[in-house]
Structure formats: C-alpha cells, structure tokens
Amino acid sequence: MLIDRSSPVPYYYQLRQILEAEIGSGRVGTGDRLPSEAELCNRYGVSRTVVRQTLSDLENESLIVRFKGRGSFVAGPKTSEHLVQSLTSLHEDVQARGQTLETRVLRLETEPVSPYVADILKLAPGAEIVLLERLRIVDGVPWQLTTAYLPYALCAPVLELDMSQRSLYEVLEQDLGLELHRGRRSVESALAGRIVAEHLAIRENDPVLILSGATYLSDGRPIEHFVGVHRGDRSRFDVELYRPLAPSGNTGIAAVVAERAGSTASTLLLDQD
C-alpha cells in the first residue's frame, strides 16, 4: 500500500492504517522490528514529522513498543485481567478528594476511524469519529494523558464544547441524553516514549501505566474507546474483586485489592473521563 496523495486524509493517518494492516495481517509478528524512521520516510515519501506522529499513535494504542536507540517493535498480546469498578469520572474523583483538576485539550477534531478503533466501536470502515486528547493535571502535577475516540454520528456536539471545563461522561449524559451503562478496562505497564514523557513531565523510559478499554450504552452500543497513560509514580488503581456465585447460592466480596504505584500515589478510579 502507498500514500494516496490525492486524498484529503492526512498522511500520518494513512501511514497509521498501512502499518496497522501490516500488524493485523501477521506480515509482521510479535517482537518484529518495524523499519526505522528514516526507512519509513523513504519508503512512503513522507516527512519525519509524519512518521513520528504515526508511531506515537501506534504506541498509544499499545500496538507497538519503542526503545531509545533500538527502534519500534510489534507489541505482544497481553494477559487479560477482569477489573470491576464504578463507572465514574476522574473529574468526580478528584473533586471528592478535595484536589484541583486542570485539563488541557490537546486535540479535539474529527478523523476517519482506523481499522483498530472501528472494530471496537462497531463502525463501518472509514466512518468519522470525534477524537478528544487531553492532558489532566492534578494539584499542579501532570498526571494523565488520555485519548477518547467517539462515534461522530452520536457525539458530534462535543466538537462545539469547551472540554477543558467539562467531564466527558457528564456531557454524554446531560448534553447528549445518552445513558452510560458499563465499561471494560485493562491496565498494563509500559515505558514512556518521548512525546508522552514531555507531556507528563517525566523522563523518557520512565514507567507509566496504560489504562484502555471501552464504554457502552444501556442498549449495548459502544460509545467510547479510550487510551490513557498515567504517570507510574503518581497513580494507584483501587480494584474490588467479587467472588463468583457459589453452588449454594452464597455471594460476597472476596477481597478488596489496592495496587499501588509509588508511596505517595493517590487513588484513580477506573475511568478515563
């Protein structure tokens, strides 16, 4: 596949789709090294800025891992863990703790959905989505870099709002009249790439926690796919574990587990809003 220079679709997005297709087809497998930035520039006739944006997006989607001085490699499959927690927002959580939250909107725009996100949101190839990328700052400390992908057909009004002052879940429910019902969450560890490190005010290759998943409406439709990168030295996820229904009919909470990253960490509920 080549870059279509007559298409209005940005080059970085086209290159991302090409590389996603390569990974998804198995032509490049887990642990395989991708071509260098220079090789990608030459092969597809694009600038280094385009290549870096593409690789950053693939890294944020956990499709690749990048190592300074070594290059970019196809990420391996992760072992699933089932997490149960309230579907609440970071905005609500921070307010409840009496802390201050500042939000900087880095990107709020439309773009054609990628094959990876289309599968999660159950959208047709090439459908439009709303992309919302924000940096969340708690008590003056950069805390979380989050990207939300929303179906344009349902969420277009978000483009007209000031999302530096609003909870996304609040907007979806109160402004758009959507009923949020459940979510699926996964957490994994990673090393911060250059762009993530700059946003979170940490060093490249410092540890980060990546929270990703989807949110669903009461009728079962997916309304959001998100990827959130949290500072490893500032984040803690509190997870409640429930024991499955016993044959005798008894139920109960088996344990409440708090996984902590850093002794001064503050609780973050399992959300991306």
Let me know whether 106 and 136 are in one domain.
Answer: yes
- Place 119 in a pLDDT band, splitting at 50, 70 and 90: very high
Let me know whether 243 and 204 are in one domain.
Answer: yes
Is the pLDDT higher at 202 or at 82?
A: 202
Flag whether pLDDT at 242 surpasses 80: no
Tell me how far apart the alpha carbons of residues 115 and 152 are, in angstroms, rounded to a whole number: 15
Let me know whether 120 and 233 are in one domain.
Answer: yes
pTM as predicted: 0.67
- Place 240 in a pLDDT band, splitting at 50, 70 and 90: low
In a 10 Å sphere around its CB, with 0-12 CB exposed, 13-18 middle and 19+ buried, how is residue 247 labelled? exposed
Our count of domains for the chain comes to 2
User: What average pLDDT does this structure show over 184-202?
Assistant: 89
Pairing label, strands 266-268, 235-243: parallel
Flag whether pLDDT at 107 surpasses 50: yes
Let me know whether 176 and 243 are in one domain.
Answer: yes
Tokens of 39: 């090789």
Is the pLDDT higher at 85 or at 4?
A: 4
Flag whether pLDDT at 262 surpasses 80: no
Let me know whether 61 and 95 are in one domain.
Answer: no
Beta partners for 207?
191
Give a yes or no: residue 1 inside a domain: no
Let me know whether 66 and 108 are in one domain.
Answer: no
Give a yes or no: residue 84 inside a domain: no
Let me know whether 127 and 214 are in one domain.
Answer: yes
Beta-carbon neighbour count of residue 249 at 10 Å? 6
Distance from the Cα of residue 50 to its chain's centroid: 20
Let me know whether 95 and 70 are in one domain.
Answer: no
Give a yes or no: residue 80 inside a domain: no
Let me know whether 170 and 67 are in one domain.
Answer: no
Let me know whether 129 and 35 are in one domain.
Answer: no
Give a yes or no: residue 185 inside a domain: yes
Flag whether pLDDT at 127 surpasses 90: yes
**CATH at 224:** 3.40.1410.10
Instruction: Provide the domain limits for residue 32.
Output: 11-74
Which range, 16-20, 21-25, 58-62, 239-243, is most confident? 16-20
